[in-house]
Amino acid sequence: MLSQDLLLAVALGYVVFLFVVAFTADRQGMRRGSWLQSPAIYTLALSVYCTAWTFYGAVGLAARSGLEFATIYLGPTLVFIGWWWTLRKLVRIGRVHRITSIADLVSSRYGKSPALAVVVTVIAVIATTPYIALQLKSITTSFEAISGAQHASRTAFWVACGLAAFTILFGTRSISANERHHGVVAAIAVEAVTKLVALVAVGIFAVWGVAGGVEAIFDRMPAEMVVPQETFDGRWFTMVVLAGAAVLCLPRQFHVTVVENTDERHLLTASWLFPLYMFLISLFVLPIAIAGLAWLPEGSNPDLFVIALPLAFDQQELALLAFIGGFSSATSMVIVASIALSIMVSNHVVAPLALNRMLSERAASGDMRDLLLTSRRVTIAALLGLGFLYLTVSDGGAGLAAMGLTAFVGVAQVLPAMMGGIMWRGATRAGALAGLVAGAVLWLYTLFLPALGGVLPENWMAAGPFGIAALRPQALFGLAGLDPLVHATVWSLGTNILLFVTVSMATSMSALERLQAALFVDVFRTSAGDGPRFVRREAAAEDLFILAQRILGAVPAQRLFDRMARAQGRGSGLPKADDAMVERLERELAGSVGGASAHAMVMRATGGEIVSLTDLIDIADETQKLMETTQRLADKTTELERTADELRRANQRLRRLDRQKDDFLSQVSHELRTPMTSIRSFSEILLSEPQVETEERARFTAIIHAESIRLTRLLDEILDISRLESGYADIPIEQVPIAGVLSTAMDCVAGFAFERGVRMTIDDAVPEVAAAANPDRLLQILINLLSNGIKYNGHAEPRITLHARTEAGRVEIDVADNGGGVTAEEAEDIFAKFTRGTRAPLDRGAGLGLPISRAMAERMGGTLAVVFREDGTSFFRVTLPLAPPSPARAAE
């Protein structure tokens, strides 16, 4: 046992030390780049999460439920290693919009709603007060345990007073400057180190000092402490989720994470350093619990193992260190929580009331700043007083952990509105309000009031209020058999989320809500400066100056207005009260009194606002627009690619055509040259050798004649094709009965076919229709195809089949021979001039027949194509438009 005097002296000395640290840091922190703005300090400040509940309660929880205590730290670990998803955005929004508290964030997001701010503030106060009481209780019980004193509530009173003094002194120095408190943060960081060192020291003592090694300590572990099959149950999952929600939503946690953040990059370091801190502080919890159960006398309070263990082994210095560690955990929580709550109460409850008063006595130049600071000081004192009162009245019987978890479920009610607000554009004020109120009421009824004990009548718990069993607080609507914590979480959070989503979808937003939603959800794409683009306000600069003086104080307001005037390029006097200036002023004020109050004040001064809806739609649809732009770009790219592709193909075709033209010229000269040569040589013979006999002469002349005819025909064909291709040829279209033209064509080549032994047949019955074509040209095409079939058919029993049918307003004539047709590779080329298929023996025909036929078919509005059968053989198909039915056909 240590003497009370010594303990008090040590505690007092420690507090004085903290005062010095805070005082020095407050001086230092003003400077940029000071060590106080390092990521390590930021991380240590985050450890305000680990309260006396951690220090004493986690060991107690471990002694009762084994590994379950770890969930309290695993939830925050998951949130911090997953900083990319939530914290990154929260911190950015906090910085851009000068958020002062979690209530401010929620209210600002939903159109700067004062009602939402009040609801969140009330939930936070209800959840936090018992929590503060717990910290005080932990200080007194540890004091009693270590000193042996009996009724130390007097100590608790003085501790509460001391904490209030510290908090008021360092936590309410100014109302602006983004609510950063360097002195407090430095003190919290020192306390963070103290509690970690103390707990680790006790842990090392438990493992190696008491048990004698890792193996030895776990040898003494009771079998029921860690039952592997029962660890990962519904309660485990619920507690991890709750702890994760708490690290985002607890007012003090939000304050250190978002409001006190000086550099977004600190979050990166904290993403692993804070989980590491929690890992280290949890490492020895289980061993201390085991050692306490094994070596301390039966019936010792597990919540005090941390102190009782060193005391039992007469390690007074270690016990003292543990006491200081616990003291640190408790005080840091109380300080930060009361600062965070005092900001919320003064900004969201006092400021709106003061605003009304300010309006009613317009002439009076009351200083709002003093009022707000006073209200914060009063709030801090009141919170600690309430906590103390709660402690003495309730004389808390429940374990430390129970109240902590109750508070977790309470603040978790803010999570849907907060996360929905920063992720989902469609979340509305009504939805957030409905979810929050319903969730909070259910939380109070199913968890908070039952946990208080004695507030709800006994028979309510067992039989339900007024005997209605469906309304039993811990088995609502018959949902019995669940752990009370899981039960309350499922009902309150479930209803909260359901109402939040459905009401949001059923209600519409005001213009300001829409603007704020866009600014928050797209915070990485917009900036606070976007505001004035959409909100138009008019005000007298003098009114605004008076307003600023009242809230910021005369000197800071003068400085701000000078800066704004300079930014507008004015040397002296007040700045012009344009939209941008009003918006900037509102943001500055929001950093002091919160978004909703600042908005209301500026609104009064400017006499309303016009949110330009058309402009607003632009920003509200920004994501949409960006997506559209991206889509358009992508479309353009594909289009460009397609065009490039087409160009490439066209280029290739042009090259091929160019080559074909060259080929054509050389072919033409070659084809012309052959007959010309023979004509020339025979004429020369006739000229130079008069003694040629008459028979010879006649033969030569016949050759010359035949060659001339061939030459003429060739030239005709070339002329023909160029006329056809250039479109000069005049081809009169008339009705051509198909049956007639087919038989004529067969008659024309019958002699030739007979000569070659080719049998020609007309397949099926030819339809009684007429094509719109030129009879001569069509005949020419058919004769050409037929004679090709006759000439180039290498089959032993050559046969040609003609086939005709109508198909969708067109008539198709197939000319097929059993020689196999052309190959797929040739199909492209045979319609080029002077090309002959591989089946054609060399030097037979000029290779102009098919190109001419195709050109003619096309000129008549039809086609000539090669059609492939499945076995690879092919035939020719002529397609022509059908002639409209007319009496002429009946005459056929």
Token look-up 């919160």 returns 594
Residue 485 beta carbon to other proteins: minimum distance, rounded to whole angstroms: 17
Residue 291 beta carbon to other proteins: minimum distance, rounded to whole angstroms: 15
Q: What are 458's two structure tokens?
A: 């006994």
**CA gyration radius, the chain:** 48
Select 524 or 754, whichever has its Cβ closest to other proteins.
524
Q: What are 499's two structure tokens?
A: 């109402």
User: What are the start-end ranges of the H helices in 689-737?
Assistant: 694-726
- With contact defined as beta carbons under 8 Å apart, do 518 and 535 qualify? no
Residue 727 beta carbon to other proteins: minimum distance, rounded to whole angstroms: 45
CA 765 to chain centre: 68
Select 292 or 819, whichever has its Cβ closest to other proteins.
292
Going from the C-alpha of 565 to that of each of 124, 560, 602, the distances in angstroms are: 40, 9, 18
Residue 536 beta carbon to other proteins: minimum distance, rounded to whole angstroms: 8
Q: How far apart are CA 740 and CA 196, in angstroms?
A: 108
- For residue 243, the one-letter residue type is A
Residue 501 beta carbon to other proteins: minimum distance, rounded to whole angstroms: 22
DSSP code string of 148-200: --S--HHHHHHHHHHHHHHHHHHHSS-S-GGG--HHHHHHHHHHHHHHHHHHH
User: What are the start-end ranges of the H helices in 453-553?
Assistant: 458-463, 484-506, 511-521, 541-552
For residue 417, give the nearest of 520, 334, 284 by alpha carbon. 520
Residue 275 beta carbon to other proteins: minimum distance, rounded to whole angstroms: 5
Residue 368 beta carbon to other proteins: minimum distance, rounded to whole angstroms: 30
Q: How far apart are CA 582 and CA 580, in angstroms?
A: 6
Residue 273 beta carbon to other proteins: minimum distance, rounded to whole angstroms: 8
Select 226 or 840, whichever has its Cβ closest to other proteins.
226
733-753 in b/e burial notation, b at 16+ Cβ within 10 A? bebbbbbebbeebbebbeeeb
Residue 404 beta carbon to other proteins: minimum distance, rounded to whole angstroms: 20
- With contact defined as beta carbons under 8 Å apart, do 394 and 452 qualify? yes
Percent helix / strand / coil, the chain, rounded to 5: 70, 5, 25
Select 226 or 733, whichever has its Cβ closest to other proteins.
226
Select 627 or 650, whichever has its Cβ closest to other proteins.
627
Select 45 or 273, whichever has its Cβ closest to other proteins.
273
Residue 14 beta carbon to other proteins: minimum distance, rounded to whole angstroms: 30
Select 528 or 749, whichever has its Cβ closest to other proteins.
528
Select 525 or 680, whichever has its Cβ closest to other proteins.
525
Q: Which contiguous run of DSSP H or E holds residue 801? A: strand 799-807
Select 85 or 477, whichever has its Cβ closest to other proteins.
85
45-58 in b/e burial notation, b at 16+ Cβ within 10 A? bbbbbbbbbbbbbb
Select 192 or 815, whichever has its Cβ closest to other proteins.
192
Select 79 or 718, whichever has its Cβ closest to other proteins.
79
Residues of the shown chain interacting with other proteins in the complex, contacts defined by CB under 8 A: 67, 70, 74, 77-85, 88, 92, 96, 213-216, 218-219, 221, 226, 228-229, 231-232, 237, 240, 264-265, 268-269, 271-273, 275-276, 279, 282-283, 286, 524-527, 529-530, 532-534, 536, 578-579, 615, 618-619, 622, 625-626, 629
Numbers of helices and strands, H then E, in the chain: 39, 9
Residue 185 beta carbon to other proteins: minimum distance, rounded to whole angstroms: 21
